[in-house]
Structure 1
């Protein structure tokens, strides 16, 4: 379970890094694009809203990861649901926008690989949480609590 736990935390850190890079670092930044579309006030409001949702998601994932590490089966199911939801959102985005491979050479911020890597990490966490040894870990923990 340690590997799944640490991989969950890596996924959280990477998702925050991808958001920050896309929003403020990689040109054209998401903030620049929003400012052109909505003006300064609208872009700031949108970035604050986005950052707020990211912080809530991050806090939720960290708390649930620690509960999963403690052997709580409900936490394993929540992490699974969050990971699967993220994968479905990635598939929906790819079906609307295409794979976007032409953007690979243009900008990391537009790179579909960043979301794909996060979904792949989520899939690894899910797989690790449902290995036979993990199943034994969760069933043993639930009997002792």
Structure 2
């Protein structure tokens, strides 16, 4: 672990802080995409759900969706906080999540046309940020932040 002399304890490597910042940006982008998709970008999710199951049903489904999204994002942030604290298992979880997001994004890229084009870019942003957050976690200075089993046993 990188220990600096400027503060109350060990300093985290810049790469770890970059991964944390990218994760926060991915979470914020996920919220933005959900809000825009539900309320702004036509046809809105609210409009489509209202047409399919009525106003009451749409509100219920959106409440469930918001609850599931909140639980997912809270879990994601909790794991990212553990990574930031130096837990290797959390880095592994974030790596898998980032890879899955990227595979799902590129695997489904040609499946449906998203219009307008700017919406396709905004919609892909959380997945790209989540995948990008993985890269700094494996740079040399960041790897030293995660104790190996051999170093822990010594």
**TM-score, normalisation: structure 1:** 0.83
Report the CA distance between 1:89 and its aligned residue: 2.2
Correspondence 1:38-57 to 2 at 5 A: 38-57=53-72
Q: Distance in 2 between matches of 1:46 and 1:91?
A: 27
Q: Distance in 2 between matches of 1:83 and 1:56?
A: 18
Which of 96, 99, 103 does residue 116 from structure 2 map onto? 103
Moved over 6 A (4+): none
- What residue in structure 1 maps to residue 6 of structure 2? none
- What residue in structure 2 maps to residue 136 of structure 1? 144
Report the CA distance between 1:140 and its aligned residue: 6.5
More helix by share: 1
1:27 aligns with 2:36: no
State the aligned residue count. Answer: 137
Which of 15, 20, 30 does residue 15 from structure 1 map onto? 30
| CA RMSD across the alignment | 2.2
Indicate if the aligned counterparts of 2:26 and 2:129 stay in contact, CA closer than 8 A: yes
Q: Distance in 2 between matches of 1:2 and 1:143?
A: 23
Report the CA distance between 1:20 and its aligned residue: 0.9
SS of equivalent to 2:146: helix
Q: Distance in 1 between matches of 2:51 and 2:61?
A: 13
Q: Which of the two has higher C-alpha Rg?
A: 2
Indicate if the aligned counterparts of 1:90 and 1:115 stay in contact, CA closer than 8 A: no
**Which segments of 5 or more consecutive residues in structure 2 lack a partner in the other structure?**
1-15
